[in-house]
Amino acid sequence: GENVEQHPSTLSVQEGDSAVIKCTYSDSASNYFPWYKQELGKRPQLIIDIRSNVGEKKDQRIAVTLNKTAKHFSLHITETQPEDSAVYFCAASLPFGGATNKLIFGTGTLLAVQP
């Protein structure tokens, strides 16, 4: 069935370093790839997303890259700060019916930024 694999499950970096989280998806019909950040005790919130018609998108310190051929996409965080510490989830869309999409989520990456 549809599957999204996410690695690593935990990531510890020093403040100021870069962090990279990688995901792979299985269904070639997927065309939307969001990344959600969930701080401790809070709801997941969208931080960046990319559609299959582009290969890269950047928003300040975060960027996402997509390789459709390999079915890979990655989240890049530069100049990490302690407030970046959270669980990050990737997801891939799957069409359902004519105009509905559901999301398949990865298992999450716990990012710890050490001051």
Q: Could you list the residues that contact another protein (CB under 8 A)? A: 1, 6, 9, 32, 34, 36, 42-46, 49, 89, 91, 93, 96-97, 99-108
Q: Which is nearer to another protein, 34 or 77 (CB)?
A: 34
Tell me whether residue 60 or residue 96 sits nearer to another protein (CB atom).
Answer: 96
d(CA 89, CA 106): 6
3-state secondary structure of 84: helix
Torsion sign across C-alpha atoms 80, 106, 46, 49: positive
Q: Closest distance between another protein and the C-beta of residue 11, in Å?
A: 15
